[in-house]
Amino acid sequence: MPEMIPHVSQVYRPRAGDLLLFGVTSGELALLFALTPTFTIVDWIYVLQHVLVLVIALTRRPPQAYDHSFSSSVAVVVAYAYPYAQVVYLRWVPGDPAWPAAGFVLVTFAACLSLSSLISLGRRFGVFPALRGLVTRGPYRFVRHPMYLAYVIADIGYNLQEWNFGTALLVLAGWASLLYRIGAEERILSQDARSSAYAASVRYRLLPGLW
């Protein structure tokens, strides 16, 4: 029996977390439509992702272990809030373009990477760190957290399109939350018997060749 890690509960309340994910995703989808004046192919990719998450929320399996600590909750809130905070902030304080063409390429690539990561995760997707099984296919063959890599690439892309000091600070806060979530997820996934072999074969957590 693997040693339990702090703040992780083996008792899961069915449906409560799923309904929370459904509600949060529905709210995100509403915000996406409210804050996006004109939809591009990238926006429709994100709409598709949100629809997939709605389906996953109602069909996913309960986790074997679940991190409900306060620090994980804060990290999740920050991670979900900072992209929309940038959009709102840019409406108050307009930014400057840096390299819009390159930004569009990065944002498009990030949307595709995020979608492929979500498809690979399927019903194992979750917001809080949880153990629902180990995913090793698709983008997970190259880095252990490709969806978070997609978020980082998208942040860079959006800020190349338009940025200011405020958006840069929001991105740093968002990245700090992502780094915390990576650590929390790896701790809870370490309870899977295959995790050591997977970490040995896929060496990099987020950035291929670096970390």
26 is a domain residue: no
Question: Structure pTM?
Answer: 0.89
93 is a domain residue: yes
Tokens for 209, please give them. 């060749």
Reported confidence tier of residue 20, pLDDT bands at 50, 70, 90: confident
Q: Cα torsion for 151, 157, 165, 176, to the nearest 10°?
A: 20
Could you give the number of structural domains in the chain? 1
% of residues, the chain, pLDDT over 70: 93
Query: Mind listing the pLDDT tens digit for each residue in 166-183?
Result: 999 999 999 999 999 999
The bridge status of strand 130-131 relative to strand 8-9 is unpaired
Domain that holds residue 81: 67-201
Query: Mind listing the pLDDT tens digit for each residue in 56-84?
Result: 998 988 889 989 899 999 999 999 999 99
